[in-house]
Amino acid sequence: MGTSQLRLVLIGCGGIMNLHAKNLALLKDEVKVVACVDVVKSRADEFAARFNCSSYSDPVKATSETRPDAAIIAVPPNAHVFEEELLEYGVNLFIEKPVAMDLETAQRILRKIEKTGVINSVGYMWRYLDVVQAARKELSDPSTIGMIYGQYVWAANFPPGHWWLKKSASGGQIIEQVTHTIDLIRYFAGEAETVYAKLEKRLSTDPNIDVEDSSVIMIKHRSGVVSTVVATWKSTNTMQETFVRIFGRNLVVDLVGHQRKAVFYRNNRVEDVRSVVDPYLEELKVFFQAVRLGSQEGILSPYSDAYKTLELTVKANMSHQLGRMVEV
Q: Is residue 2 pLDDT above 90, yes or no?
A: no
CATH code 3.40.50.620 for 6-123+280-298: no
Residues 189-194: what's their mean pLDDT? 98
pLDDT tens digits for range 307-319: 999 999 999 999 9
Strands 145-153 and 120-122: unpaired
Fold of the domain built from segment(s) 126-278+310-327: Dihydrodipicolinate Reductase; domain 2 (3.30.360)
**pLDDT one-digit tens code per residue, 83-107:** 999 999 999 999 999 999 999 999 9
CA–CA separation, 270 and 275 (whole Å): 16
pLDDT digits (tens, 9 = 90+) for 123-139: 999 999 999 999 999 99
CB 312 within 8 A of CB 195: yes
**32-56 confidence digits (pLDDT tens):** 999 999 999 999 999 999 999 999 9
Asked if residue 261 lies in contact with residue 274, where contact means CB atoms within 8 angstroms, the answer is yes
245 beta partners: 149, 254
**Pairing verdict, β 242-248 and 145-153:** antiparallel
Report the mean per-residue pLDDT for the chain.
97
Distance CA 12, CA 14 (A): 6
DSSP assignments along 70-107, one per residue:
EEEE---GGG--SHHHHHTTT-EEEEPSSS-SSHHHHH
- One-character DSSP codes across 149-213: EEEEE-B--PPTT-GGG-HHHH--HHHHTTHHHHHHHHHHH-SEEEEEEEEE--S---TT--S--
Instruction: With H, G, I as helix, E, B as strand and everything else as coil, classify residue 309.
Output: helix
When pLDDT is cut at 50, 70 and 90, the band that residue 4 belongs to is: confident
CB 148 within 8 A of CB 244: yes
pTM assigned to the model: 0.96
Domain-wise residue ranges, the chain: 6-123+280-298, 126-278+310-327
- 1 confidence band (pLDDT: 50, 70, 90): low
> What whole-number percentage of the chain has pLDDT above 70?
99
